[in-house]
């Protein structure tokens, strides 16, 4: 038992050992609907610069690189990020472009039609032009999948502090662990090629003139001598960190490499911007580079591969061995050899493979890895005995010719595109979060703003651009509003007082604290158009409206419902007109919405309950703000509203007859959203903006009752043609972005721009 | 039926008619414990300038003037303000001074010992010196009670809009209503003197040399020719607004008055700074000036007088009559005549009184005034038949000689002082509000910051200095913190993440979402010092601490309790040491508190339950943050904690044996507070300040676990001698201001200064 195993077993630290950090980088070409490499520039609305850490361009202008942030502990989290980044990328592609799902490119055009990435940084473009000269354009068109892998710093610290390290300081201990892993990986990298190799074919156009195309399917062209390899005279030693740095730098100094990043080793030591930085940063993680893109996985890799690679890497740290430089050289040769094998054949390294599989299984047992993960790993391990189950073999079986394979690539690309466009309002990987937050994350990804999910159930994000940090909760709770503003807006009476004092129209209202208090005052309200609402909710819950004034019974029933939502209830003058929602940001109204109360339209046959059920089938209708619209409920308030129209849930509506189940028009209670931003008279835009300013709130939804939005706001002795209803903190954004009718306004983008004015890309 | 009565009856607007605005100004001398006029300056810590709208100085330096803001509709509200302002004033008086409770001053010193108010404004001092020359110092030493009275603008507007006004515009309508009221008041002002006259005596020292002292008790010396009256050649007409302004200005122009404010009419028309401003502001309210201070009322007036005057004034508007100038002159004479009557005699104007009482009663019936108010009014009206029940007569009965009366004044002053000091942490009139808010209002009053209570149950205040407005809720929810900061601090895991990233020490923790999840992981926690707490509460509710690690049963029981308070529960490393609360404001730690968990100390006889009951009798212990300390509860958590010590509620503790009923030390769960601001090592002050900065929060309570507060904070490889526990939004302030032990820090003042740096008085 080596020191690492002893530490894990004696100190019970398997959980720390397994608590790794994983991130994925996946390249892939944009292709036309005909399956050609796209000749178009990178989509304009996606920040594809190296400042966007999610979406970049690799060698070619057509070659998108999707980068997940490192995720600690949860392998599923990596896939969620890839899903999201993939969705955002696809949704911004022009001309129905899709993304090629394989490592090997589709049929390539002539070299003059392959554009290197048109980056702003001239050095980055120059580097790519150098690569063209050194390797040819075609080689650079291969797409890879890189697996960034880090150990839990607490694991390393514990290993050192508990006295298991051979080194007398934490820094050297950490570097030694990563170097051991890197060396063993280079020795055994063929394992990845055998189990995950998925590039059996390449189209003839891939091969430079004079190069003999591979005449038969292999496990991985990409890992063969036809793939990304440095010239043979490039030698870098992994013996120790200092030697690694010196030998790599020497290759650059002597001109064998133009830059450190041209060193195409299948494992890179990461930690600093330049390799010499590692001397003070230490090795922080490894970049493992020889996994082929898995064509059957929507984002190039699935959970089982993620888990398999992780435990394979842990295994390389777990074992007693440590490969030396000659063994590493041997490992590189074995990798190439395995890559060139017939996918259906048993590998020449079968016995070494058996030893590894056995050792890996023993480690899984020793670590007591959870059964679901073991199951995933076994799905891959059994391929040692069944080479026909390797990805390369499966591709060849399914697509016997290169032409079949090319066709499959396009079909998969189109299918993936279709899936990404199916529910454009949602963000794949994050559909459990509030929809506004999903849209917000999507916009951040697109714009290259770093976004961390601090608390998923809380919908709490940390956004950053350089040193500038902004926290955002529930889509628009930010640093731009004050703590007190929330309470001012929550208090509807105080809000109205401030609005009235600022010279705007707001209806009169009174607060009641008990039903008996309302009973005593009921006479006053019987002939008054009236709104009954709980004092401190902003979701439309418990609100009833009586346009003609309530009966005594109706009043008390409405109050009873309202008192269920709050200790105090407002009885407020009903202002005639139609209610509109004004989304105000930074003192300007940027979107206006008409919300139509929850309703159904009859067909002469169905009951209201049946019509509601039918309407609720719309996938845009969901629950709890995960979709642009909410399902219509059949509760007390709906029943009361129908009763006012002499209807029940069992009433059958005539063809075309419309019944409203709510008086209040909130989307959260099943209402429909109609974008009217372009129709509304500018005077109301100003009024809403000024109201927000009077309230001292920078992000708010102002509800105004307006008699005719096309006519200017007016106030005379007789009254006004508009009235303030309420100001909402944390106003819903999704209904503006994805209205039921109308074009919609992407208020999330405007908010991001407000938070990060320095991020010009948002404009 | 006149137009006003018709409007009220036809349009059902009695409620609007009664919805008046009332404010009180009450003067009173500071007196020494011996009953002498205080020779000390106005207390330094009370802003007594004219900028403080609550506490000012009148003529003399010793003469405080307490001014309530106008209160609409609720007469009780006026008394609440007077109570608060009185409490604040008394609590800041030096040398055990008290406030003289009568209109007529105590024994006066020689004129050279009477100082006019030492105001900063030289013009204000000059004016007072002029008054000395014109009237003598002694006369100015009378203290009055002024009653500011305004009608509901909606009543006036409705009266006009519904077509009942004789005028063709709202402005003239409003002025006419107030003028009618003013004229009728001047005619019938004797009613106030008869029913409320309370200055039967004056000490001989009050009378200027050569003036014949009043030889017998009267109803009101203050309203007699010995009181505040202008010279006879001052004539001002109330015929119409223009005439009023012109005649008043003429008196100033011709030198009969040095300034408009020297016009000592018993009713003033108010609305603008200068009387001519009334031409564009209109009359907004009336100042009624002839009520004597009611010595038996702690703040000079009680609810019954407030209500009586209100309905008497409404009656003067209600009646058909409108006094003309000769009738007004007659009214002034009658007033003086009644003031000079023997208090026990039937008034000469008894029959006119009968007519008024009858009419007033009829109006009360017509308006359907509530019975509780009618009862209050009747308490006064019956004095017409029983002159011995008038305040003046009652004073003479109780204190037959001037010396008795002087002695009674001092006794009352002392009693009032004692009452105001009884619970110095609370603010009279506002004891239903959160204690922190009470203290905050008191500090605002003292400092001359305008404070409006926007919502009483919400503890929501609007503070202002000039145009600068700040809203404050629950004591310290303000514009100084961001909306998002609240959510960051509410999320304890995210808070700790940020603290850790900023380089500070914070214990590790994990979140669980169900009891079964905890059950599955229980083994991990059994030997770990542990804190179990709900994720998102900040009041100590549901927190359990296991210093030695819990048993399985204890862990699950603690989690069960925690899950009652939140959907998710944190299991967090317990950091050894003692927990301290650091109150951080604007990046600086200004107060540090040790909170000792709820505890009792045994006496060898009582059970723990009995000891708790005894300890809870302390008036400083209350419920729901209305007192500096909270009552100790006997709930599940307390039982669980005692169980850990092998105790139950029925255990009898030995003499001196201390038992803790809580592990958490929150004041809100019955803990004791000990101010340690001066003992704590400065390194912790810095750490707490920097933590607040890292969290981006400006008002917070940082809880740190510290091993020894006298030793500097240290972090080594082995760990740190302190640990971050949590950061609290809306941190309790009262426990810093009024700790159970130690001097205390008035953090409310520091916060006010932070909100209003321009208000130098706060320093």
pLDDT at B717: 63
Is the pLDDT reported for residue B92 higher than 90?
A: yes
d(CA A327, CA A190): 13
Chain B residues with beta carbon closer than 8 angstroms to that of A521: none
CA distances from A700 to A475, B92, B480 (A): 12, 44, 19
Of B471, B484, B486, the CB nearest to A488: B471
Q: Say yes or no to pLDDT of A191 above 70.
A: yes
DSSP B240: S
Tell me whether residues B471 and A454 touch, CB distance under 8 A: no
Is residue A639 within 8 Å of residue A648, measured between CB atoms? yes
> Is B486's CB within 8 Å of A481's CB?
no
Residue B523 gets which letter from DSSP? G
* Cα-based distances in Å from A238 to A149, A192, A252, A360, B652: 17, 20, 16, 24, 72
Alpha-carbon distance of A213 to A204, in angstroms, equals 6
Chain A residues within an 8 Å CB radius of B473: 484, 487
Q: pLDDT-based confidence at A540, cuts 50/70/90?
A: low
Contact B561, B537 (CB under 8 A): no
Residue A104 has what DSSP assignment?
A: S
Average pLDDT across chain B, whole number: 92
Give the pLDDT of residue A144: 94
Q: What is the average per-residue pLDDT within B573-587?
A: 92
Output DSSP code: residue A454.
Answer: E
pLDDT in tens, A735-754: 999 998 999 999 999 999 99
Strands B621-622 and B629-630: parallel
What residues contact residue A757 under an 8 Å CB cut-off, 6+ apart? none
The alpha-carbon gap from B659 to the nearest alpha carbon of chain A, in Å, equals: 37
Buried b (16+ CB within 10 A) or exposed e, A28-55: bbbbbeebbbbeeebbeebbbbebbbbb
Spatial neighbors of B84 by CB under 8 A, at least 6 apart, are: B427, B428, B429, B430, B441, B442, B445
Distance from CA of A305 to the nearest CA of B (A): 28
Residues of B near A (Cβ–Cβ under 8 Å) read: 161, 454-455, 457-458, 460, 471-473, 477-488, 491, 493-494, 497, 568, 696, 717, 729
Q: Is the pLDDT of residue A763 over 60?
A: no
What pLDDT was estimated at residue A761? 62
Are A458 and B491 inside 8 Å of each other by CB?
yes
Residue B567: Cβ-neighbour burial (10 angstroms; 0-12, 13-18, 19+): exposed
Q: Measured between beta carbons, which residues in chain A are less than 8 angstroms from residue B729?
A: 483
What does each C-alpha distance from A706 to A265, A533, A574, A711 come to in angstroms? 67, 20, 12, 9
Task: State the pLDDT confidence band at B210, using cuts at 50, 70 and 90.
Answer: confident
Q: B488 and A471: CB-CB below 8 Å? A: yes
**Which DSSP string do the residues of A306-321 spell out, in sequence order?**
HHHHHHHHHHHHHSS-
Helix, strand, or coil (residue B67)? strand
Closest CA–CA distance from residue B712 to any residue of chain A (Å)? 25
For residue A691, pLDDT over 90 is answered with: yes
Query: Which of chain A's residues have a Cβ under 8 Å away from the Cβ of B696?
Result: 471, 479
Q: Which residue of B has its CA nearest to A482?
A: B482
Q: For A356-365, how does the pLDDT look when each residue is reduced to its tens digit (9 = 90+)?
A: 999 999 999 9
Give the number of C-alpha atoms closer than 13 A to the C-alpha of residue A659, restricted to the C-beta side.
Answer: 32
- pLDDT at residue B537 in the model: 63
Which residues in chain B touch residue A485, judged by CB atoms under 8 angstroms apart?
A: 479, 483
> For residues A313 and A293, what is the distance between their CA atoms, to the nearest angstrom?
18
In the structure, what pLDDT confidence band is assigned to residue B539 with cuts at 50, 70 and 90?
Answer: low
Residue in A closest to B479 by C-alpha: A482
Distance from CA of B15 to the nearest CA of A (A): 11
Share of chain B above pLDDT 70, in %: 98
Beta bridge partners, A40, equal none
Q: How far apart are CA A139 and CA A60, in angstroms?
A: 11
User: Is the model's pLDDT at B561 over the cut of 70?
Assistant: yes
Work out the minimum CA distance from B666 to partner chain A, whole angstroms: 24
**Smallest Cα–Cα separation from B50: which of B124, B143, B128?**
B124
In contact, A721 and A714? CB cutoff 8 Å = yes
Question: Computed over its alpha carbons, how large is the radius of gyration of chain A?
Answer: 32
- Which of A159, A139, A134 shows the shortest CA–CA distance to A58? A139
Please tell me which residue of chain A has the smallest CA distance to B455. Answer: A494
Chain B residues with CB under 8 Å of A480 CB are: 482-483
The answer to whether the Cβ–Cβ distance between A480 and B477 falls below 8 Å is: no
pLDDT in tens, B171-206: 999 999 999 999 999 999 999 999 999 999 999 999
Any residues with CB less than 8 A from the CB of B687 and at least 6 apart, and which?
B504, B704, B713, B722
For residue B42, the model assigns a pLDDT of 93
pLDDT in tens, B113-123: 998 898 888 88
pLDDT band at B545 (very low <50, low <70, confident <90, very high): confident
pLDDT tops 90 at residue B39: yes
Cβ neighbours for B656, distance < 8 A, ≥ 6 positions apart: B601, B602
Residue, of A79 and A512, whose pLDDT is higher: A79
Substitution target in B480, B487, B508 with the highest count of A β-carbons within 10 Å is: B487
CA distance to partner chain B, nearest, from residue A665 (Å): 27
Is the CB of B484 less than 8 angstroms away from the CB of A479? yes
- How far apart are alpha carbons A236 and A248 in whole angstroms? 5
Q: Which pLDDT value is given to residue B26?
A: 97
ipTM for this prediction: 0.85
Segment B594-618, tens digit of pLDDT: 999 999 999 999 999 999 999 999 9
Strand bridging mode B599-601 / B658-660: antiparallel
Lowest-pLDDT choice from A618-632, B181-195, B403-417, B453-467:
A618-632
| pLDDT greater than 70 at residue B219 | yes
- Indicate if the pLDDT at residue A718 is higher than 70: no
3-state DSSP percent of chain B in helix, strand and coil, to 5: 40, 20, 40
**Contact state of B479 with A696 under an 8 Å Cβ cutoff:** yes
Buried b (16+ CB within 10 A) or exposed e, B476-490: bbbbbbbbbbbbbbb
| Main-chain dihedrals φ then ψ at residue A186, nearest 5 degrees | -65, -35
Name the average pLDDT for chain A: 92
**A479 with B696: Cβ contact below 8 A:** yes
Predicted local distance difference test score (pLDDT) of residue A762? 59
Residue whose token pair is 């990798």 = A335
Question: Residue B235: what pLDDT?
Answer: 87
Q: Point out the residue among A460, A482, A487 whose CB comes nearest to the CB of B491.
A: A460
Mean pLDDT of B414-425: 93
Q: Burial letters for A337-358: b for 16+ Cβ neighbours within 10 Å, e otherwise?
A: bbbbbbbeeebebeeebeebbe
What share of chain A in percent tops pLDDT 70?
98
**What pLDDT score does A613 carry?**
96
pLDDT above 60 for B538: no
* Inter-chain contacts counted by CB atoms under 8 A, chains A and B: 85
Percent of chain A with pLDDT over 90: 72
Single out the residue of B578, B262, B299 nearest to residue B416, CA to CA.
B299
| Res B525: pLDDT | 76
Chain A residue set in contact with B, beta carbons under 8 Å: 161, 454-455, 457-458, 460, 471-473, 477-488, 491, 493-494, 497, 568, 696, 717, 729
Query: What DSSP designation does B738 have?
Result: S
For residue B672, which phi and psi values (nearest 5 degrees)? -100, 150
Q: Mind telling me how many Å the CA of B137 is from chain A's nearest CA? A: 44
Rg for chain B (alpha carbons), in Å? 32
Residue B161 and residue A493: Cβ atoms within 8 Å? no
pLDDT for B762 equals 59
């Amino acid at each position: 038992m080596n020191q690492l195993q002893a530490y894990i077993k004696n100190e019970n630290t398997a959980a720390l050992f397994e608590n790794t950090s994983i991130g994925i980088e996946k390249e892939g070409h944009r292709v036309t609907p005909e399956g050609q490499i796209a000749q178009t520039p990178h989509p304009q609305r996606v920040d594809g610069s190296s400042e966007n850490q999610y979406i970049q361009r690799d060698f070619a202008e057509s070659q998108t690189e999707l980068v997940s942030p490192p995720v600690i502990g949860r392998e599923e989290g990596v896939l969620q990020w890839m899903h999201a980044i993939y969705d955002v990328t696809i949704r911004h592609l022009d001309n129905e472009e899709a993304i090629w799902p394989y490592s090997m490119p589709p049929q390539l055009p002539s070299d003059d039609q392959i554009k290197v990435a048109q980056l702003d940084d001239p050095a980055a473009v120059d580097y790519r032009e150098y690569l063209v000269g050194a390797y040819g354009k075609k080689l650079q068109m291969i797409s890879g999948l890189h697996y960034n892998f880090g150990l839990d710093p607490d694991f390393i610290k514990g290993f050192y502090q508990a006295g298991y390290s051979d080194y007398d300081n934490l820094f050297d201990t950490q570097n030694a662990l990563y170097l051991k892993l890197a060396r063993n990986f280079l020795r055994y990298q063929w394992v990845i090629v055998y189990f995950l190799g998925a590039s059996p074919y390449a189209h003839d156009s891939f091969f430079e003139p004079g190069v003999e195309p591979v005449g038969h399917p292999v496990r991985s062209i990409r890992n063969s001598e036809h793939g990304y390899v440095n010239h043979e005279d490039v030698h870098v030693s992994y013996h120790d960190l200092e030697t690694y740095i010196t030998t790599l730098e020497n290759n650059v100094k002597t001109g064998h490499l133009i830059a450190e990043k041209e060193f195409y080793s299948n494992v890179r030591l990461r930690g600093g911007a330049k390799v010499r930085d590692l001397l003070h940063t230490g090795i922080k993680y490894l970049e493992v580079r020889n996994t082929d893109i898995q064509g059957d996985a929507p984002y190039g890799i699935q959970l089982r591969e993620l888990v398999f690679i992780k435990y394979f890497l842990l295994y390389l740290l777990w074992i007693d061995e440590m490969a030396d430089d000659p063994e590493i050289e041997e490992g590189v040769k074995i990798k190439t050899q395995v890559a060139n094998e017939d996918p259906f054949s048993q590998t020449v390294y079968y016995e070494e493979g058996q030893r590894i599989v056995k050792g890996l299984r023993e480690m899984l047992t020793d670590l007591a890895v959870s059964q679901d993960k073991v199951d995933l790993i076994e799905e891959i391990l059994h391929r040692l005995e069944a080479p026909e189950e390797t990805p390369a073999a499966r591709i060849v079986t399914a697509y016997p010719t290169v032409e079949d394979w090319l066709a499959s690539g396009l079909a998969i690309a189109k299918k993936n595109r279709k899936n990404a466009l199916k529910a454009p309002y949602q963000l794949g990987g994050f559909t459990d979060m509030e929809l506004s937050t999903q849209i917000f994350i999507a916009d951040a990804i697109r714009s290259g703003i770093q976004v961390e999910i601090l608390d998923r159930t809380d919908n709490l994000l940390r956004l950053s651009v350089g040193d500038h940090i902004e926290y955002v909760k529930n889509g628009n709770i930010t640093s731009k509003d004050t703590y007190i503003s929330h309470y001012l807006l929550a208090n509807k009476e105080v809000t109205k007082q401030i609005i009235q004092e600022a010279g705007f129209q707001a209806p009169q209202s009174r607060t009641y604290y008990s039903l008996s208090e309302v009973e005593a005052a009921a006479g006053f309200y019987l002939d008054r158009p009236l709104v009954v609402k709980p004092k401190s909710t902003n979701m439309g819950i418990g609100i009833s409206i009586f346009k003609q004034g309530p009966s005594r019974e109706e009043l008390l029933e409405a109050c009873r419902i309202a008192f269920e939502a709050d200790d105090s209830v407002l009885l407020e003058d009903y202002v005639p007109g139609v209610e509109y929602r004004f989304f105000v940001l930074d003192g300007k109204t940027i979107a206006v919405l008409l919300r139509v109360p929850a309703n159904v339209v009859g067909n002469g046959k169905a009951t209201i309950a049946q019509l509601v059920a039918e309407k609720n089938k719309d996938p845009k209708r969901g629950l709890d703000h995960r979709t642009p619209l909410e399902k219509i409920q059949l509760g007390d308030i709906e029943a009361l509203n129908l009763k006012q129209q002499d209807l029940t849930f069992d009433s059958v509506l005539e063809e075309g007859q419309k019944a409203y189940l709510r008086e209040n028009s909130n989307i959260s209670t099943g209402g429909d959203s109609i974008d009217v931003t372009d129709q509304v008279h500018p005077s109301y835009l100003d009024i809403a903006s000024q109201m927000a300013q009077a309230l001292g709130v920078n992000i708010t939804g102002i509800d105004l009752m307006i008699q005719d939005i096309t006519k200017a706001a007016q106030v005379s002795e007789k009254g006004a043609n508009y009235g303030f209803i309420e100001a909402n903190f944390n106003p819903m954004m999704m209904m503006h972005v994805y209205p039921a009718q109308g074009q919609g306004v992407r208020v999330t983008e405007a908010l991001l721009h407000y938070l990060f004015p320095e991020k010009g890309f948002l404009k």
